[in-house]
Structures are given as C-alpha cells and as structure tokens.
Amino acid sequence: MVQTLVFIGFMVVSYLIGCFSTARLIAKSFKSLNIYKVGSGHPDTENIYCNISKSLGILAGIVDFGKMFVYLLFLKLLLENFYPAISTQNHLLVLGFAMVVGHCIPVTNKFKGGRGIFTYLGFISFFFFTYYTILPMIVVAFLAILVVVVFKQIRFAQYMIVLLPPFISFFLKGNEGSYFPMKMFLSAILMGIINFFVSKRLGEL
C-alpha cells in the first residue's frame, strides 16, 4: 500500500515537473518575450528556433532533454535505494511518460503545451542508454540533424525522433525475446496520439 501511494505521488510530481515550460522561461529571460504571442504561439523548441533565435531554440531543446534524462536517472537511483519494488523498468517508463504528458498537456497553462519532442527524446534516450544500447539514438540523432541542417525539415526530423528508435532497436537485436523494442513502439504510439491532439488544437489538422 505504501509503495503504491509513493508511486502515485511520484507520478504527480513527474507530471508537474513536465508542466514547467522551458520555452516560456527562455523566451522571457533572454528576450523578454511572451512565447504565446510569438510565431505559432506554441510554447516549444520549434517556435523558439524558428521565430526567436536558433541558438536559444537549441538551448531549449538541450534543457528539455537534460531535464528528463537527469530526472529519470535520479529517480532510478532513489527508488532502487528506498523503494526497490517500484524501481523497475516498467515503473520508470510510466513515471517518465507522465513528465512527457505534463509537457504536452500542462494543467498550469490550460492544457496547452509544447509538442514535447526533446522531452520525449530524453525519455527514450535514458531507457536505451540504461537498459538496451545507445546506438539507435546515435543513429537517429545523426539523421535528424542531417534532415534539419541540409533539408530544413524540422517537422520531419521530429517524426524521425519518435518513430525510428523502436524500428532500429528491433533490427539491431533481432528476435531475442526482449520486450524492450515493443515497449518503445508503445511509447511512440502514445506520443503520436498526444501530438495528434496537440496539432488538432493548433488547427493543423
């Protein structure tokens, strides 16, 4: 019972941390701008990168990535030492995705958040690095940077970040009885569903 309550508490904390908007803070701190009144009005890295500053956009992406990765690393160490029953990979997947949901659907801004691509990238990178192999993420990062720099296709690069890692991990490991690639497929599907509603709210669909 105590373990369950602790887990629920960490879910709430994870969601609330996700609600903290890096894009809004950076736009306000460095340019004294209201991110909701700039460009697409969307509080995400893409809006900063395209409509405020490329360097600040990169900074926002790095912070979102690092926030997730470091938080999950901290959670893993904390739970393993104090609450080992809820320190499993599956528990951490749920807690990490709660932060992604908070980023995309924040209660602090009337459920209008960013796309959460870099937060999600930090999420899957942690699990590939900790439980599998980091190689798929290196491949995807290289391809995404190439697509953005050479072809200027930011949105396509975002789709690659979400969809490619599970496919690459499946082919790298083959059929070895590991459920990890399937968990990543499920995460990608859930991320796609969330972004569908985000895009629909923006009138893009």
The whole-number average pLDDT for the span 138-166 is 86
Q: Is residue 204 pLDDT above 70, yes or no?
A: no
Q: How many domains does the chain have?
A: 1
- In Å, what is the CA distance from 140 to each residue of 1, 3, 90, 126, 159? 41, 36, 23, 14, 11
- In Å, what is the CA distance from 64 to each residue of 14, 17, 135, 152? 13, 11, 21, 21
pTM for the structure as a whole: 0.89
| pLDDT-based confidence at residue 203 (cuts at 50, 70, 90) | low
pLDDT tens by residue, 73-98: 999 999 999 999 999 999 999 999 99
Q: Is residue 177 pLDDT above 80, yes or no?
A: no
Which residue did the predictor score with more confidence, 36 or 101?
Answer: 101
| pLDDT-based confidence at residue 170 (cuts at 50, 70, 90) | confident
Domain that holds residue 192: 2-201
Q: pLDDT value at position 42?
A: 79
Q: pLDDT value at position 86?
A: 93
Q: pLDDT value at position 181?
A: 84
- In Å, what is the CA distance from 36 to each residue of 53, 54, 112, 155, 199? 15, 18, 10, 19, 15
Report helix, strand or coil for 177.
Answer: coil
Mention every residue, 6+ apart, whose C-beta is less than 8 A from residue 200: none
What is the chain's mean pLDDT, rounded?
A: 88
